[in-house]
Amino acid sequence: MSTQSPTPQSRPFNTGHHTAHNHSSQGQSLDQALQQAGFYPRLVADVVDDALDGRDCLSHLVHLETHFDRAEVRRHITVLVLTEDMLVITHVDDQQLDEAGEQIVAQISTESVPVAQIRSVVLSYMYAQPQDYKPSDPVRELTVSIAWSGGQRLDMGPASCGDPQCEADHGYTGTIAQEDIVLRISAEADGLQAVQDAKVFARALRAVNTGAQSPVPHTAIPAPRPRSGVFSNRLGRGHQR
C-alpha cells in the first residue's frame, strides 16, 4: 500500500448527475466529501458516477479509514450512494508496487444493490457518560450495518455459569448478526458532522427501503456468492476497531 498521501485534485472534474445535489440535511455534497477525504477524489468520483449509470444521488456516505501496519500507512475509502432504487457501494484501495513508492495501482470494486433487496439497516450508538446524558449530548460513535444477501457474522466465546470458582466446561455461546457491510464512524476520528451525516444517510436508506413497492421475498434471495479481492478485504476490516 502506498505510504504517500495522494494529492487532492484541485481542478473541476466530471461527476455527472450527482454534482447538482447539495444535500441541505448533510454537511457536504458528495463531491465536497470526496475532495475532503483527499483519496484520489477525481478517480473515485468518476468511478462512482459510472456506477450510478445516470441515477440521481439522494444521500451519500463517504468513509475514509486509515490503519497503521508496522512502517506502512494503509488507507481505503468506502462510498455509499443512495438512489431511488439502488444502493451503490464503491470501495477503493491503493497498493504500492515498489519500495520507492513511484509505482502505485488502485484497486476498485463497485456493487449495486436494489433497495428492495435490503433486509435490514442497523444503527449502533455509543454515548459517553450516559448517567449524565442530556438531549444535547452528541453521539460519540455510530456503527451502520446493512444486510442484503443473507450473509451473517457469528461471534462465539466460552460460556460460563457466573461462578468465578467454577471450572466446569459449559460449552460455547455466541451471537449471530446479519450484515453485508459495516461502517464505524467516530466523532473523535471523523468529526461530529461525519456522525450526523451517517445518521442522515441511514434515515434516508430506511425511508427508501421501507417505501419499496415490491420487496424481494427472503426465499427468492440468492445464496451469498463468494467474495474475492478488495471487497473481501474490506468486509474483514469493517469489524476492526
**157 vs 193: CA distance, rounded Å:** 36
Percent with pLDDT over 70 in the chain: 67
pLDDT in tens, 209-230: 887 444 444 344 344 444 444 4
**What pLDDT does 119 receive?**
87
pTM, rounded to two decimals: 0.66
Q: Which residue has the higher pLDDT, 161 or 142?
A: 142
b/e for 86-100, b at 16 or more Cβ within 10 A? bbbbbbbbbebeeee
Amino acid at 145: S
More confident: 79 or 226:
79
53 CB-near residues (< 8 Å, 6+ apart): none
- The average confidence (pLDDT) of the chain is 76
Alpha-carbon Rg for the chain in angstroms: 20
Given a cut of 60, whether residue 172 has pLDDT beyond it is: yes
40 confidence band (pLDDT: 50, 70, 90): very high
Summarised one tens digit per residue, pLDDT across range 98-110 is 776 678 888 999 9
Per-residue pLDDT at 31: 94
Give the pLDDT mean for 77-98.
91
Q: What are the tens digits of pLDDT across the range 113-152?
A: 999 999 889 999 999 999 999 999 999 999 999 998 755 5
Least confident interval from 27-41, 44-58, 206-220: 206-220
CA angle 68–201–143, rounded 5-degree value: 45
Of the two residues 61 and 240, the one the predictor is more confident about is 61
Residue 45: which pLDDT band, with cuts at 50, 70 and 90? very high
